[in-house]
Amino acid sequence: METSREYRVVARNTATASSNKIHDDAVARRYGFAGGLVPGVDVYAYMTHPPAEAWGLDWLERGAMRARFLSPVYEGEEVVVVATGAAAGPDGANGRRMSLELRGPDGAVRATGEVQLPDAPADPPATAPASAWPSVEPGGEPPEASPGSLAPGTALALAPHGFHADAAGEYLAEIGEGLPLYADNRVAHPGWLLRDANRVLSANVRLGPWIHVESVAQHRGLVHDGDSVQARAVVTREWERKGHRFVELDVGLLDGGDRPVVHVAHTAIYRPRPQGD
């Protein structure tokens, strides 16, 4: 039996001052968009509301979500996340599932998602974090993003930083998140964590305008007030399609003890084709 629920939120472009000028109105229009794009990581954050509301800390600790961003969301648009839940399938897979569509004011589907809450925590990575996501020291000036600097196997990393629940209210306000789940339990929002999957790319190569197109995240633990978080990543794919250059990263978000708290497959167009090319 399926159940359906809706979540509405007014989108905000939180990245107008970002070095990624795809969020700037004038630059985005040169790539054929109506204006600056609301960051994909924030659209992802909107989409986490239904599973977090339905399943609470259990989903934040061991749930999973695949989100695909099909077309842009713009500043000031009221978007609706339509969540349809279903029982486990006939193949015997355990857990609970939810399908998501994020629709714009015109009713068009801008993003889709598949969500799961397994009955038990996910198995740990096959290799230890230190070997799955090598620790690399920041170098000097980052190289320009290219097939060479983003060749499969390239390791990327961010310095550790802390999560502080008392400062998290600003982020929750930015994404319009009103669930008491985060403040009451003093835990990090999955969208706040996913921002590091963007940063581990932009901090290690020089990018022009670029576009986040998909994330597949498996939660492995909660991030509590005062915890340290670091991102390590390995490039798994780099390719060209229709004049765009894509990159896929295997990202591990680790706590201070090198324990994975989120495992992400993160895909971006790192060099979009300008309109007319």
pLDDT, tens only, 54-98: 999 999 999 999 999 999 999 999 999 999 985 444 443 457 999
- Is position 276 within any domain? no
**H/E run at residue 57:** helix 49-62
Structural domain of residue 157, as residue ranges?
3-121+129-271
pTM of the entire structure?
A: 0.92
Domain count, the chain: 1
- Is position 207 within any domain? yes
Structure tokens at 26: 């004038």
CATH at residue 57 = 3.10.129.10
pLDDT bin (cut points 50, 70, 90) of residue 136 is confident
What pLDDT shows up at residue 137?
Answer: 76
- Is position 14 within any domain? yes
- Is position 254 within any domain? yes
What pLDDT shows up at residue 134?
Answer: 83
Question: For 57-66, 251-260, 262-271, which range has the lowest pLDDT when averaged over its residues?
Answer: 251-260
Choose among 145, 160, 128: nearest CA to 256: 160
Partners of 253 in beta bridges: 231, 262
227 within 8 A of 259, measured Cβ to Cβ: no
- Is position 277 within any domain? no
Q: How far apart are CA 249 and CA 92, in angstroms?
A: 31
Percent of the chain predicted with pLDDT > 90: 80
Q: Which residues contact 101 (CB under 8 A, 6 or more apart)?
A: 81, 82, 109, 111, 112, 113
Q: Which residues contact 266 (CB under 8 A, 6 or more apart)?
A: 197, 198, 201, 212, 214, 215, 233, 248, 249, 251
- Is position 12 within any domain? yes
Res 133 pLDDT > 80: yes
pLDDT bin (cut points 50, 70, 90) of residue 26 is very high
| Arithmetic mean of pLDDT over the chain | 91
Tens digits of residue pLDDT in 156-173: 999 999 999 999 999 999
Q: Tell me which residue has tokens 């193949």.
A: 91
- Is position 206 within any domain? yes
Res 116 pLDDT > 60: yes
Q: How far apart are CA 19 and CA 208, in angstroms?
A: 8
Tens digits of residue pLDDT in 206-240: 999 999 999 999 999 999 999 999 999 999 999 99
